[in-house]
Structure 1
Amino acid sequence: MFIRRTKTRTTENGEHYYSYRLVDTYRIADRVRQRTLLNLGSGFSFPREQWPELIQRIEAIILGQHKALLPFPPKIEHEAQNIAAQLLSKFDGSELLLHPNKGGADAQETPSASGHVPPDGRDLRSIDLNSLALMDSRSVGGEAVALSALLKVKFDDKLRALGFNRKQVSAAVGNIVGRMVQPGSELSTHQWLQQSSALGELLGCDYGGQSLSALYRASDLLWKHHDEIESYLYRQHGVLFGIEETITLFDLTNTFFEGTGKYNDHAAYGRSKEKRSDCPLVTLALVLDGSGFSRCSRIYPGNVSEPSTLQQMIDELRTPINPGPEQKVGEYPEGTKQEPSQQPLDLRNLPTIVMDAGIATEDNIAWLQEQGYPYIVVSRKRRLAFDAEKATVVKEDKNNTVRAMRIEREDGEIELYCHSELREAKENAINKRFSTRFEQELDYLADGLDKPRRLKSAKKVCEKIGRLRQKYARAAKHYEITTEHDADGKKAIAIRYQRIERAEDPDAHPGVYCLRSNQIEWDEAQLWRTYIMLTELEAVFRSLKSELGMRPVYHQKTHRVEGHIFITLLAYNLVHQIRLGLKDEGIDECWETIRTTLSTQMRMTVSLRGEDGKQIHIRKSNYPNAAQHVLLRALDLPWNPGKTQKTIVTP
């Protein structure tokens, strides 16, 4: 074998480039012939002076010499392993003769190398058991489940319809499946695809020959078409699960990224929900339906005002993706057919908007009323009152009981005062913790008035008490604090505090919160159950950030940050699709548990030497364990992802 470099000219612009092939020579009678064993592509950049060593190691691997007598450099070993795996995959079901002249004929693709195969499909051989070796082990369980979800909604067909070529489709799929199975940056995904994953075998593509730039370019393309892709995916899930759009959940979150954000238009310092205010932030606004699938998403600067985003997001849901030049917002030209991927909100049957107090300003509520939207929002009302005797139980189990008291206002709105025992216990514990810390700080300050080298100045003591009130504002409002000074008024001699409960204080009714709605026909239970769907959106944000690797973002350019977040969002929708399918079968596990369970199903090559000296390579997936079998059966997937490959190498 040897490597041949060929100079080629492109038909587009006439520029020259070099392509590389793995070639073998053989003799027929008195003539020497050559055949191409493997096309290495134009991206093969291995140093020419190391080609002989590389060829030597490739031949050794496919002949079963997995451990070299003298170790090769790591770079040569890695490249040789990759090329050998591709070579064995190409000659699946055939006999690979490295030196056909020894056999007297070119038998590049001799069916089944054993001669006659019995009708029952068995292939019986005498082998040396001591020669058995396992190699090229790659994960396949999680990849197979993730890929099946992607193909079920015909996501790859949509990408091709958008103009993606074959390599761009494989790169985009690699990005998304990588975010589902092994979440991280595009760099870590590229390493995972090349070194650890069997996704390329399931797709029939070679990720080993794809550059990191291919993943970045695929990310750019996904973001370029994000409106169409997002809408298409939502429509497909609607058909798949029979979803009716009756509830719309709206909320925002932010995440941080590394670096200064100099080249990122969205980078801004703000209030980090992850307590990382030292880093630039970027904000994700997300609209979900009641089933948990994302309907629409937008990316904003990290310091965006939450209330200011509502009208824009709802308007975009009412607007077709590609309106014509004379087309009004929310309308379609007369006589044109609406494509499924462009379907806006049905204005005749508007969904109920659900959002938390951070977005529910009076202006936003007035706008929703003006547009005719039904809504359920968390009230910003500070003074809360609750009468248990007038309340109705809306939820009761061994862990928690929730009661709701309904008040109908003259302006047509409903106020629903809800009391949760679990929330009351949580708020009491938080209040107690802050009160304890506040009292400990005051006691420490008071004890120091009689000790050397401690704070005693009346002015400094008052300043310290002020800082403590600011630090523990939630607890400090319940205390009256007095200080005693000496005759000169320059030295503090005593600090006294007393806890005072105020009936009008919001903390006087722990566990109580108020909902506002204009759904006057709904009862207390339906109003509360609809609002509690908002916790699903919070769970989505947790999944995006922890399970699916949205944070931190390492990109510095705006479109790369947008692409990274959008890929994570696509991964979430496919993960949610898988989880809903499992939930229908009674399996309600988080994605982290599902992913961990599937991670031990591997695809590997078994190498054996036959009695006739031929080397047998068989590549297949291992049988799933009991937990994996339950998941695969629930999803109606085959237990052995990827086809079984068998290659015979004759030395």
Structure 2
Amino acid sequence: MFVRTKKVKTGGKTYEYYQIVKNTYKNGQSRQKVICTLGSVDDYDPEFADELADTLSEFTGKVTVLSSMDDCHHIWSKEYGSVYVLEKLWEELKLTDILSTYLQGRDFEFEVISAIKAMVFNRCIAAESKRSTFDWMNKDVHLPATEDLELHHLYRSLDFLIENKEKIENKIYDNLKNLFNLDVTVVFYDCSLIDMYGETPELIQYSRKGKPQALLSFVLSRDGLPISHNLLPGNTMDINTVIDAMQDLKKRYSIGKCIFVGDRGMVSREKLDALEDMNFDFIVGVKSNQWKEVKEEVLTTRGRYSKVSDNLKVKQKEIDGYRYIICYNPDQAERDRKIRESVIESLEEEIEGLDPDSKKAAELYGHKYKRRFLRKLKDGTLKIDRMQIRKDEKLDGKYILYTSTDEDELDKEEIASTYKKLSNIERSFRSLKSLQQMEPVYHHADRRIEAHVFICILAHLLERLMEKKFTKENLDMTAAKAFEHLSRMKLTKTELRDKKFLIRTDTTDEMNKVFKALHYQHPKRVQHITEG
């Protein structure tokens, strides 16, 4: 339909009228049918059209006529894109169903699941304290299910969460296997110290860094999804956590033969023997001076390297049925050389004419890295240790892996690639907002600290699931970057005369890439609000 001007000649004069006309087809020919005449052009009253449109809106619900801009009010505008996508991921993992299972028979007077969801989403998007999270969920984002929550409800939800931690983790593990093809033929294990503030004596202990901290240990699947975690006192040594964590994994998830991947801090002969007794193979990093055979046999291995990638070459040495993989990174070798040369150059200037009994001399010889290249003579004079420099030159860009796997199962190139994935996952794990901003933790009870960490782990799981989907669809984007793009989608509550709507902003090209990779439909452009 359209509006046309109809000219009519009468008594030698020409009159013009506005008409609403619709094109119709009859016998293959187009004809125009007059729907309504709005009146003479000269005498046209715009209010008549407003009244007509207003009357039609009672039937369609789609037409709203504004007499002036005073009829249009924007009540609020809130972030929408991020929470919309997180809601989809949350339900895809069936987290509501999991939490509902353990809420049965519990007489909570508030929406526990909504409170937990809000805290998890906040870790992904804004990472704030619980008090700030409460303000955020009410003022900054569109989470209508949280409207009736109070601040103390968040803390009570944390108590429920930690009471059921192991059972919830077990259910999540089952869903990851069934819905996301979880691969646990390889598991990555790591530990991270977290700064703590509080008065509880159990978790907050002075760590090897000399700070009040707790130790977070976590197990990741082959593709980096967190499947279990534990929080221990900060003075716990990383190596002492390995066996308990792997025994717990076997017991809870009935995992069969599996390859354990850990860094150099997880290694001792005793621990590796215990892992093999539990039917774990292992791939671990070892220090160049850790065992006698590493220094005398492994590092002197002759032969050419085989290429894994542009910045990784490998060769191997077998001793007593176990394999050592010598890894060489040319780029890292160049960085090692430049750092050492810079340190040596600085040291040569600092020790020239230096009084051997001075405070400066004592500081240099006690320095964590510089002392490596210093030699003290009988009179206390400091000299550059050229022999140590030559030893270090032979190690530039190299690191050693130790594995119990058979070559038929994984060749040396696959061993190196698998271990490299551990460092990539560690880097990703610590760079994501949910965990990067985990600390410092201010809760004053062990259970609250543990629950706070669990919230962070759940947030990280959603982020990793998002990134896993991105990888599958060849979208080179991190979860953090995706949330940055999605945060620009706002939802505005608008009143047009006596009608209320929720209207979202248009999507950008980057947002469209995210929705396409996740296979999610865009949220509705306009939602009509019916308030009782």
**TM superposition score category, shorter chain reference:** 0.7 to 0.9
How far apart are 1:365 and its partner, in Å?
1.1
Of 613, 617, 621 in structure 1, the residue corresponding to residue 500 of structure 2 is 617
Partner deviation per Cα, 1:255-290 (whole Å, 9 max, x = no partner): 1023xx322520011134xxxx4x410110011111
How far apart are 1:139 and its partner, in Å?
0.6
Alignment partner of 1:236 is 2:175: yes
Partner deviation per Cα, 1:396-415 (whole Å, 9 max, x = no partner): 2xxx2x21111111x21011
Alignment partner of 1:176 is 2:120: yes
Of 123, 137, 160 in structure 2, the residue corresponding to residue 221 of structure 1 is 160
Partner deviation per Cα, 1:518-560 (whole Å, 9 max, x = no partner): 1122211111111112113312441356666311112121111
Distance 1:128 1:270, change over 3 A: same
In the alignment, the residues of structure 1 paired with residue 329 and residue 121 of structure 2 have an alpha-carbon distance, to the nearest angstrom, of 40
Amino acid at match of 1:630: K
Alignment partner of 1:430 is 2:362: no
Partner of residue 221, structure 2: 289
Partner of residue 364, structure 2: 468
In the alignment, the residues of structure 2 paired with residue 377 and residue 563 of structure 1 have an alpha-carbon distance, to the nearest angstrom, of 31
Partner of residue 195, structure 2: 256
Of 329, 334, 343 in structure 2, the residue corresponding to residue 420 of structure 1 is 329
Partner of residue 523, structure 1: 411
Of 378, 396, 399 in structure 2, the residue corresponding to residue 510 of structure 1 is 396
Partner of residue 167, structure 1: 111
- Quick check: 1:292–1:536 contact (8 Å CA) kept in 2? no
Aligned partner of residue 264 in structure 2, secondary structure? coil
- Quick check: 1:138–1:603 contact (8 Å CA) kept in 2? yes
How far apart are 1:125 and its partner, in Å?
2.9
How far apart are 1:633 and its partner, in Å?
2.5
Amino acid at match of 2:239: P
Distance 1:619 1:246, change over 3 A: same
Distance 1:570 1:434, change over 3 A: same
In the alignment, the residues of structure 2 paired with residue 541 and residue 300 of structure 1 have an alpha-carbon distance, to the nearest angstrom, of 19
Partner of residue 405, structure 1: 315
Partner deviation per Cα, 1:26-75 (whole Å, 9 max, x = no partner): xxxxxxxxxxxxxxxxxxxxxxxxxxxxxxxxxxxxxxxxxxxxxxxxxx
Q: Larger deviation: 519-528 or 381-390?
A: 381-390
Of 503, 520, 523 in structure 2, the residue corresponding to residue 640 of structure 1 is 523
Partner of residue 439, structure 1: 348
Partner of residue 15, structure 2: none
Amino acid at match of 1:644: Q
Distance 1:115 1:307, change over 3 A: same
In the alignment, the residues of structure 2 paired with residue 386 and residue 593 of structure 1 have an alpha-carbon distance, to the nearest angstrom, of 45
Partner of residue 83, structure 2: 143
Amino acid at match of 1:266: L
In the alignment, the residues of structure 2 paired with residue 436 and residue 281 of structure 1 have an alpha-carbon distance, to the nearest angstrom, of 37
Distance 1:197 1:477, change over 3 A: closer
- Quick check: 1:623–1:639 contact (8 Å CA) kept in 2? no
Alignment partner of 1:301 is 2:233: yes
In the alignment, the residues of structure 2 paired with residue 573 and residue 617 of structure 1 have an alpha-carbon distance, to the nearest angstrom, of 37
- Quick check: 1:146–1:181 contact (8 Å CA) kept in 2? no
- Quick check: 1:184–1:550 contact (8 Å CA) kept in 2? no
Of 256, 280, 290 in structure 2, the residue corresponding to residue 373 of structure 1 is 280
In the alignment, the residues of structure 2 paired with residue 263 and residue 163 of structure 1 have an alpha-carbon distance, to the nearest angstrom, of 28
Partner of residue 466, structure 2: 578
In the alignment, the residues of structure 1 paired with residue 480 and residue 265 of structure 2 have an alpha-carbon distance, to the nearest angstrom, of 30
Of 263, 268, 272 in structure 1, the residue corresponding to residue 205 of structure 2 is 268
Partner of residue 437, structure 2: 549
- Quick check: 1:548–1:571 contact (8 Å CA) kept in 2? no
Partner deviation per Cα, 1:188-239 (whole Å, 9 max, x = no partner): 2111011111022xxxx2x343111101111111111111212222222222
Partner deviation per Cα, 1:440-473 (whole Å, 9 max, x = no partner): 3324x63xxxxxxxxx6x6x33x642331111x5
Partner deviation per Cα, 1:613-650 (whole Å, 9 max, x = no partner): xx33322222212221221222222322597124699x
Alignment partner of 1:195 is 2:139: yes
Distance 1:586 1:388, change over 3 A: farther
Distance 1:230 1:507, change over 3 A: farther
Aligned partner of residue 170 in structure 1, secondary structure? helix
Alignment partner of 1:245 is 2:184: yes
Partner deviation per Cα, 1:109-141 (whole Å, 9 max, x = no partner): xxxx96655776632534323543322111111
Of 294, 314, 324 in structure 1, the residue corresponding to residue 246 of structure 2 is 314
Distance 1:537 1:646, change over 3 A: closer
Whose helix proportion is higher, 1 or 2? 2
Partner deviation per Cα, 1:545-599 (whole Å, 9 max, x = no partner): 6666311112121111111111000000011111111222221212221111111
In the alignment, the residues of structure 1 paired with residue 526 and residue 452 of structure 2 have an alpha-carbon distance, to the nearest angstrom, of 32
How far apart are 1:503 and its partner, in Å?
8.1
In the alignment, the residues of structure 1 paired with residue 488 and residue 278 of structure 2 have an alpha-carbon distance, to the nearest angstrom, of 53
In the alignment, the residues of structure 2 paired with residue 407 and residue 641 of structure 1 have an alpha-carbon distance, to the nearest angstrom, of 61
Distance 1:498 1:157, change over 3 A: closer
- Quick check: 1:416–1:516 contact (8 Å CA) kept in 2? yes
Of 332, 335, 356 in structure 1, the residue corresponding to residue 263 of structure 2 is 356
Aligned partner of residue 441 in structure 2, secondary structure? coil
In the alignment, the residues of structure 2 paired with residue 570 and residue 548 of structure 1 have an alpha-carbon distance, to the nearest angstrom, of 14
Aligned partner of residue 158 in structure 1, secondary structure? helix
Partner of residue 339, structure 1: none
Partner of residue 100, structure 1: none
Alignment of 1:30-41 (within 5 A): none
How far apart are 1:373 and its partner, in Å?
1.7
Which 5+ residue runs of structure 1 have no aligned equivalent? 1-112, 321-342, 447-455, 485-491, 610-614
Query: Normalised by the size of structure 2, how large is the TM-score?
Result: 0.81
Distance 1:318 1:604, change over 3 A: same
Alignment partner of 1:156 is 2:96: yes
Aligned partner of residue 522 in structure 2, secondary structure? coil
- Quick check: 1:183–1:548 contact (8 Å CA) kept in 2? no
- Quick check: 2:258–2:281 contact (8 Å CA) kept in 1? yes
In the alignment, the residues of structure 2 paired with residue 147 and residue 124 of structure 1 have an alpha-carbon distance, to the nearest angstrom, of 32
In the alignment, the residues of structure 1 paired with residue 151 and residue 246 of structure 2 have an alpha-carbon distance, to the nearest angstrom, of 37
Aligned partner of residue 111 in structure 2, secondary structure? helix
Amino acid at match of 2:114: S
Q: Larger deviation: 183-192 or 239-248?
A: 239-248
In the alignment, the residues of structure 1 paired with residue 378 and residue 201 of structure 2 have an alpha-carbon distance, to the nearest angstrom, of 52
Amino acid at match of 1:476: R
- Quick check: 2:123–2:434 contact (8 Å CA) kept in 1? no
How far apart are 1:430 and its partner, in Å?
2.8
Identity in percent: 21
Alignment partner of 1:128 is 2:57: no
How far apart are 1:150 and its partner, in Å?
0.3
